[in-house]
Structure formats: structure tokens, C-alpha cells
């Protein structure tokens, strides 16, 4: 199989086709479009790979990208340090652990034509450690029973199971822009049980394009999401409430709506973006809508000429200065120096009460704590 071929059932989309089996085939009807965020992520991966190879005394040429920044330098350094620490931990039980970087992994014996690329694999006598670098900011990725990581583990086990007596698999997600580092460790026996009870039957359905269309959080990066009928019907079911004032709804109905608001808003924005792209770039005419020029703000066309003209007219107070942000200051001084010099002048204000799903990791506050900040919507 050519290295650059895309797998129908890729590891990176496994959370989607495991829940919504026919989506994998449906996505084939849509062309691939690389977003700016994806391109930036690719650049970050290339830089992280280079730094890790250099740290391990491997040959590598530093990549150059338009996305290079101090932030990317910082976060790829952090990834490199995380992997090096994991390698040192492996050396506690195995004097010479095997380390593979950007390794192609074949799990096609479990998933038809299944393959992917592991960012870093560390193999010791009894433990297989898979590390995945996530540069994305939008979606928090958890390592806990993450199907992408589990598929990578299956591919790595095929390479090394006959050479090592591997008993456990550790799967780590390093997502620095979300301050998210998580690791899940499972026995190989549990992984193989998942293969038989979940992976194989669902992968067979997905490869054939069979099964039920099932909308959910996994729709986020699906190429068919905007035009998917099942997803639209799921979002539009809220119309049965007719958006009456909250006092006319039961608590259960309010909870049902609250659970759908974020995804409903996201879907509506995606649908508008799709319709706008079709109108602007493909000449599509939507009945009841028209293309207009967006509103804009005035801007100087030549700042140097503006400064000269203002000075000639006798106006000198035309500049403003502002203090750089705390993050920029900390980066300038370094965390330790920043704390020593400016620590006494920095505070983190208490956040205002806000309603979030119970799955949010922040601790809950009591109603009494929120009373001073929250006013009942029924009061005038």
C-alpha cells in the first residue's frame, strides 16, 4: 500500500466511524481541504519530530515554516522533554528501550486496510508506550481508552509482540496549548478483548458503509457533517420546544436544551459557512439570501504620511503606549525571574459563576457562593 494513501478507516477518525459506522464511506464523497489549523499542526509536528531526533542523536534537518513562532518553539520543546522523560522511565526496567519516531503502523488484520503513523513509540520489556503530540487548541483530547491510540498500540504490538513480553500498553496525549497531558495504561488482554467485542464488528460495518448514522460529538471534523441529514434532524428536534420562555418548560426540557445548545450553535455556524462558501466561490444562489459587501472600518493607507501631516499641523499627542501582556512579560523574563520581580503585582481575579456541563473538570461551587453574582432571570 503506498505510504501516502489515505486509509478509509483511519486511526485519527476512528472515534467517528466506531460511533457512526457509515460515515467513513460517506466522507469519501467530499474532497480533502487542509485548514490553516491543520497546516499549523503539521508544521508543529515536523518541528517536534526534528527536535526529538536531534535529542536522540539521530540525523535530522530543521524544517522551516511560515508558522514558526516563539509559542511553537516553547510547546515543541515541552513535547521533546516529555518524551525524553518517558524514555528515562522506560530505562528503569529496560536498559535499552526501543524508540521509534513517526513510525508507520499497520493494524489491517483488525481493521480493513487499516494503518496510521505513531508520533513516538517506546518499547521496553513489558510495557509499550505510545505518545501522540496534539497541537490543536479547539478540542480537548483525552487518552482514556482513546481509540486512535488503541489502534496505534495494535499496530505496534504487531511489530514487537514476538520480540518483547509486553503485558501493558501506556497511551499518552501531549496537548500543550490546552495544558493537557493525559496517560491511560491498560493490559494487553483488555486491548484484545476490545478488538473482538467492539473493533472488529464495527470496523466491518464501517468498511462496507453499513450501520446507523449516529450524530454526536464525533461529528466535529467529519467532512460530511454540514450536509448530513441525521445530524440536521438531531439538531432540529429542539424546534419542538418552540423556544418558549424558560418558566413554561419543565426542568427536564431545560436540561435537554442545555445539553444541545453548544453543538446546535456550532452546527448552525458550520451550515452558514458552507452556504456562504457555495455562494462566493461556486456561484450558488440561495433563495431568500444575497451576497453583499461586509462592513469595514476605516484605516490609514500610509502611517508615515499621517504622522508627518499631523505633526505639520501642530498635533504631537498622536501615539499611545500600553504594557505588554502578562504572558509576553513572563516569556520575556522567564517564569522564575518574572515571579521574583513582578509576582507581588499580579493577581488572578476570582471567576464569575458560569453554568457548564457536569463533565467539566473545574470544581463545583455552591448556590450560596454564586448568590452574590447571579440574579434570577425572572426578577426585574
CA–CA separation, 168 and 126 (whole Å): 7
Task: Give how far Cα 243 sits from Cα of 216, 250, 253, 265, 357, Å.
Answer: 22, 12, 11, 14, 20
Number of other CB atoms surrounding residue 76 within 10 Å: 23
CA–CA separation, 177 and 234 (whole Å): 31
Q: Which residue has the higher pLDDT, 292 or 48?
A: 48
First-to-last alpha carbon distance for the chain, in angstroms, is 68
Q: What is the pLDDT of residue 290?
A: 79
- Whether residue 1 has pLDDT greater than 50: no
| φ, ψ dihedrals at 173, nearest 5° | -110, 125
Using pLDDT thresholds of 50, 70 and 90, give the confidence band for residue 368: low
Residues 53-89 have pLDDT tens digits of 999 999 999 999 999 998 999 999 999 999 999 999 9
Which range, of 110-114, 120-124, 278-282, 375-379, averages the lowest pLDDT? 375-379
Number of other CB atoms surrounding residue 377 within 10 Å: 8
How many percent of the chain have pLDDT more than 90?
47
Q: What is the pLDDT of residue 220?
A: 83
Mean pLDDT (whole number) for 158-180: 91
Report the chain's C-alpha Rg in angstroms: 26
Task: Give how far Cα 4 sits from Cα of 46, 116, 132, Å.
Answer: 16, 10, 20
How many percent of the chain have pLDDT more than 70?
92
DSSP states along 125-154: SSEEEEEEE---SSS----TT-HHHHHHHH
Residues 202-259 have pLDDT tens digits of 999 999 999 989 988 888 888 888 888 888 887 777 666 655 566 667 788 778 778 7
CA–CA separation, 181 and 144 (whole Å): 11
Residue appearing with cell numbers 458552507: 274
Q: What is the pLDDT of residue 35?
A: 84
| Residues whose CB is less than 8 angstroms from the CB of residue 307 and which lie 6 or more positions away in sequence, other chains included | 318
Going from N- to C-terminal start, the domains of the chain cover 14-217, 224-282
What DSSP state is assigned to residue 246? G
Assigned CATH class of 14-217: alpha beta
Q: What is the pLDDT of residue 325?
A: 84
Q: Which grid cell sits at 347?
A: 493577581
What DSSP state is assigned to residue 164? S
* Closest by CA position to 188, among listed 224, 161, 228: 161
Q: What is the pLDDT of residue 366?
A: 73
Mean pLDDT (whole number) for 183-210: 95
Q: What is the pLDDT of residue 373?
A: 47
Q: Are 48 and 80 a contacting pair, CB within 8 Å?
A: yes
- Pairing type for strands 168-175 and 127-133 reads parallel
- Residue 128 β-bridge partners: 123, 169
Using pLDDT thresholds of 50, 70 and 90, give the confidence band for residue 3: very low
* Closest by CA position to 318, among listed 293, 291, 343, 300: 300
Number of other CB atoms surrounding residue 186 within 10 Å: 18
| φ, ψ dihedrals at 101, nearest 5° | -120, 130
- Whether residue 101 has pLDDT greater than 70: yes
Q: Which residue has the higher pLDDT, 335 or 149?
A: 149
Residues 26-40 have pLDDT tens digits of 888 888 777 888 899
Q: Are 279 and 286 a contacting pair, CB within 8 Å?
A: yes
- Whether residue 14 has pLDDT greater than 50: yes
Task: Give how far Cα 3 sits from Cα of 55, 103, 223, 281, 350, Å.
Answer: 26, 11, 22, 32, 51
Amino acid at each position: 500500500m503506498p505510504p501516502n494513501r489515505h486509509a478509509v478507516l483511519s486511526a485519527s477518525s476512528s472515534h467517528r466511524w466506531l460511533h457512526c459506522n457509515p460515515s467513513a464511506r460517506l466522507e469519501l464523497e467530499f474532497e480533502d481541504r487542509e485548514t490553516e489549523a491543520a497546516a499549523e499542526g503539521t508544521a508543529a509536528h515536523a518541528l517536534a519530530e526534528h527536535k526529538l531526533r536531534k535529542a536522540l542523536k539521530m540525523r535530522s534537518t530543521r524544517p522551516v515554516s511560515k508558522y514558526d513562532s516563539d509559542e511553537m518553539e516553547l510547546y515543541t520543546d515541552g513535547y521533546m522533554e516529555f518524551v525524553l522523560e518517558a524514555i528515562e522511565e522506560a530505562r528503569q526496567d529496560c536498559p535499552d528501550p526501543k524508540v521509534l519516531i513517526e513510525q508507520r503502523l499497520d493494524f489491517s488484520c483488525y481493521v480493513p486496510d487499516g494503518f496510521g503513523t505513531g508520533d513516538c513509540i517506546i518499547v521496553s520489556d513489558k510495557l509499550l508506550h505510545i505518545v501522540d503530540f496534539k497541537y490543536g487548541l479547539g478540542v480537548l483530547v483525552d487518552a482514556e481508552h482513546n481509540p486512535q491510540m488503541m489502534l496505534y498500540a495494535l499496530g505496534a504490538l504487531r511489530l514487537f509482540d514476538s520480540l518483547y513480553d509486553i503485558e501493558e500498553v501506556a497511551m499518552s496525549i501531549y496537548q500543550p496549548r490546552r495544558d493537557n497531558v493525559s496517560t491511560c495504561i491498560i493490559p494487553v488482554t483488555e486491548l484484545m478483548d476490545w478488538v473482538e467485542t467492539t473493533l472488529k464488528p464495527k470496523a466491518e460495518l464501517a468498511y462496507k458503509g453499513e450501520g446507523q448514522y449516529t450524530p454526536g460529538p464525533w461529528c466535529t471534523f467529519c467532512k460530511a457533517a454540514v450536509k448530513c441529514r441525521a445530524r440536521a434532524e438531531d439538531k432540529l428536534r429542539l424546534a419542538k420546544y418552540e423556544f418558549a420562555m424558560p418558566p413554561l418548560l419543565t426542568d427536564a426540557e431545560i436540561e435537554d436544551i442545555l445539553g444541545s445548545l453548544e453543538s446546535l450553535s456550532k452546527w448552525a455556524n458550520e451550515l452558514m459557512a458552507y452556504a456562504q462558501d457555495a455562494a462566493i466561490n461556486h456561484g450558488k444562489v440561495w433563495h431568500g439570501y444575497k451576497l453583499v459587501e461586509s462592513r469595514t472600518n476605516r484605516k490609514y493607507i500610509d502611517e508615515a504620511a499621517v504622522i508627518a501631516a499631523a505633526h505639520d499641523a501642530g498635533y504631537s499627542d498622536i501615539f499611545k503606549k500600553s504594557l505588554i501582556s502578562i504572558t509576553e512579560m513572563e516569556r520575556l523574563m522567564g517564569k522564575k525571574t518574572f515571579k521574583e520581580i513582578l509576582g507581588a503585582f499580579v493577581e488572578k481575579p476570582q471567576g464569575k459563576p458560569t453554568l457548564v456541563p457536569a463533565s467539566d473538570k473545574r470544581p463545583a461551587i455552591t448556590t450560596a457562593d454564586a448568590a452574590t453574582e447571579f440574579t434570577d432571570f425572572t426578577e426585574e
